[in-house]
Amino acid sequence: MAKESISELLRTLRRNQKKYLSFRGVHYVDIGYKYKNEKRLEKICLRFHVHKKLQKKFINLDAIPSLLHGIKTDIIVSNPIPQSRYGTSFTTLTGGIEIENPYEGSRGTLGAILLNSENRPVGLTNYHVLFGKNGQLNDMVVQPAKLQPPREDIVGIITGGTPQLDCACFIINNSRDIDRGIFQASANLANKLAPTHGLLVRKSGVATDVTYGLIDGIGADNSFSIVNHPVKANDGNILSSAGDSGSIWVSDSDPSLGVGLHFIGDVDGRRARAYDLGAVMIALSIHF
């Protein structure tokens, strides 16, 4: 499908997203590939994500029409959960390693190291990792997560965050060396690439290391959906798991290009979701 047509579909989605989300059981709506018998088809449609697919005779009038505003629809079963868990200590700070706000106790992945408006290095991760329910600006960030972290594990302080894009950053102190690459996934993160349907990507996270995926849907809120790579197999078909929150999805063909900030994944690990890295960088006023 032409980019112009996808743009039109996304405009329709933005205009009607509130209505679409009002359907019973729907927790996310995007424009993406249609599936039949769990096989991806080269057809783009309006997709309604639900926790469980119910029979029409059960849901009766709550059934999602097969055609809405002239657009074919599809039902995607997905069960996303926020992700975080323990990791190991690194003497050099780099993307793909564990961090934590010890006041919040929410562990996740340091996605990448970028620069703020003063060209000082900052760590990028999720809002729910650094702020959660109790985190605040100027809270310390430690690496790795520990029950009682020593002062030498403090690697920075929180300087900003945007819950709408589940993104946050912290300014890095000089306690450790810095590597602006992503552990085992990218030697250097140098630019960004807009997410598009069919784009092959990879990420490096605390829980599942390097995994490979394909962008199969794009939402109206700068988010996009990822499924397993059609060729490069992930162990157990697990794309992401608890601990990967904050990882950066990069282009698989050119891993120096960042695509999105991972923020959530399905319980079974076979679908993930991320926010457009370009939108995240604008929101946080950070750059390469």
Q: Decide: helix, strand or coil at residue 219.
A: coil
Residue type for position 4? E
Query: What global pTM score does this model have?
Result: 0.89
Domain 3-77 shares a fold with domain 79-288: no
Per-residue pLDDT tens, the chain, 288 aa: give them: 566 599 999 999 999 999 999 888 899 999 999 999 989 999 999 999 998 877 665 555 667 889 999 999 999 999 887 665 466 899 999 999 999 999 988 889 999 999 999 999 999 999 999 999 989 999 999 999 988 899 999 999 999 999 999 999 999 999 999 999 999 999 999 999 999 999 999 999 999 999 999 999 999 999 999 999 999 999 899 999 989 999 999 999 999 999 999 999 999 999 999 999 999 999 999 999
Max CA-CA distance within the chain?
62
3-77 CATH pick, 3.40.50, 3.30.300, 1.10.3470, 3.30.420: 3.30.300
Q: Which residue has 């700068």 as its token pair?
A: 222
pLDDT of residue 52: 82
Are 202 and 185 contacting, i.e. CB atoms less than 8 angstroms apart?
yes
Q: 79-288 sits in which CATH class?
A: mainly beta
239: left (phi over 0), alpha (psi -120 to 50) or beta: alpha
**Is 236 exposed, middle or buried (CB count within 10 Å of its CB: 0-12, 13-18, 19+)?**
exposed
Q: How far apart are CA 45 and CA 8, in angstroms?
A: 12
Domain boundaries, the chain: 3-77, 79-288
